[in-house]
Amino acid sequence: MKPVRFLMAALAVVCFSAPALADNSGRIYGKITTVDGEVFEGLIRWDKNEGSWVDFLNGNKDLPRKSRSERRRYEDRRKRITIFGITVGYSDSYAYRASSAQSGIRFGHIGRLEATGDDAVLLTLKSGKEVELENGSTDIGTSIREIIIEDRNEGEIEFDWEDIESVDFMQGPAGQASIFGERLYGKVQTRRGDEFTGWICWDVDELFTEDIIDGEDNRRTRKIKFDAIKAIERRNSGSAVVHMKKGDSVVLRGTNDVDDSNRGIIITNVDIGEIVVGWDEFDRLDLEKAPAEARYDRFDGGDYLEGTVTDVDGKSYTGRIRWDDDEEYTWEFIDGEDRDIDYNIELANIAEIRNKGSRSAEIVLFSGRVIRLRGSNDVDEDNKGIFVAQPGGDEVEIAWDELEKIVFRK
């Protein structure tokens, strides 16, 4: 009997060890050093909704000096105050822009993160460049929802922001099992017929197969793991149909997972960036078997933007680019919306930007996809200027109303 018991035990070990075969080489991995000097190493889940190298760390970045186009708009909107025909001052009906702007970077570009305050970080990129980001999202600072590491020796550990001294990112072993399961991947269809495929984050919260979607089914509370779900379909503003892998379906309602209080379905796409589809525009999500995730060595820390800017008079200027007077690296993104869908498009993916008037621009991606963006100063008349540093050292500024197009160097 002893050999039989040994065999059964061996089979049990094989069965329970199966999750270790999952390829998690695309997951965020690193060493967290605490303010007390302790070091933990393993897979990292950041702020609940970032878990892979393709995901974005979001924050605010300081802006450079004010541009000519902005100063011009400011002067145009100043109201002169006079007494008996003598100018005594000005009333400012137009406020200068803020000193910082929304920014973000894929985790794969970051070599080291240092917490430099309650709401600030210093990032050292793989390229060696340093970038400071502060608050602007729950990714940075005391408002962060959680930082979890699956330490190789001690298991799951959760940290508050105040615990973190630094994080050193690195490529993790492909076979390390995760308590969260595998990363969600699938195709999202919108009510207007758009389709996006990529890594999924549901309700800006659920990221993995072991995460749960919950709701009420005939006054019963249901908690369903994403691992059991084949598809989710919007039924109306207050409910959704969840199609199970085993063949049945259930209608859920009553929570922000399945009604119009849903915070958005995020699709992270390597060829675009980040797409956020709101509940009113969402139609259906089909979960699919995930391809191999992008590994840490796919990212290089980015580089300066370079390209050729053509103005409305046909003059062209080639050199280093600063878009909207703040985006100057390939890892940065421009944002906007199209047909009620929000986009953060990584500049490394953009082949060309064409001015389409005072309110919008046409974004041509290297993949061939064309997106018409509006609703952001990145792509309308509130753009703070396009700057071209030419080889001779001169810098040329092109205001939005002077721009025809820009072609980026890949």
- Please report the pLDDT score of residue 64 as a whole number: 60
> And the tokens for 45?
């889940």
> What mean pLDDT is reported for the chain?
88
- Please report the pLDDT score of residue 4 as a whole number: 32
> And the tokens for 3?
């050999």
Tell me how far apart the alpha carbons of residues 107 and 58 are, in angstroms, rounded to a whole number: 10
350-384 per-position pLDDT tens digit: 999 999 999 999 999 999 999 999 999 999 999 99
- Please report the pLDDT score of residue 339 as a whole number: 87
21-33 per-position pLDDT tens digit: 568 999 999 999 9
- Please report the pLDDT score of residue 323 as a whole number: 97
- Please report the pLDDT score of residue 99 as a whole number: 64
Q: Residue 308 burial by CB count (10 A; 0-12/13-18/19+): exposed, middle or buried?
A: middle
The string of DSSP letters for 71-93 reads: HHHHHHTEEEEEETTEEEEEEES
Tell me how far apart the alpha carbons of residues 1 and 352 are, in angstroms, rounded to a whole number: 72
The string of DSSP letters for 224-259 reads: EEGGGEEEEEEEETTEEEEEETTS-EEEEESSTTSS
* List of the chain residues with pLDDT < 50: 1-20, 67-82, 84-85, 88, 90-97
Give the other-Cβ count within 10 Å of 296's Cβ.
22
Give the other-Cβ count within 10 Å of 382's Cβ.
16
- Please report the pLDDT score of residue 199 as a whole number: 97
Q: What is the pTM (predicted TM-score) of this model?
A: 0.86
Q: Do residues 227 and 181 touch, judged by C-beta distance below 8 A?
A: yes
Give the other-Cβ count within 10 Å of 212's Cβ.
14
Look at the block and give the residue holding tokens 């020796």. Answer: 153
Sign for the pseudo-dihedral over CA of 131, 137, 142, 148:
negative
Q: Do residues 323 and 306 touch, judged by C-beta distance below 8 A?
A: no
> And the tokens for 100?
């910082």
80-104 per-position pLDDT tens digit: 444 544 554 544 433 444 566 789 9
**Bridge partners for 333 per DSSP:** 346
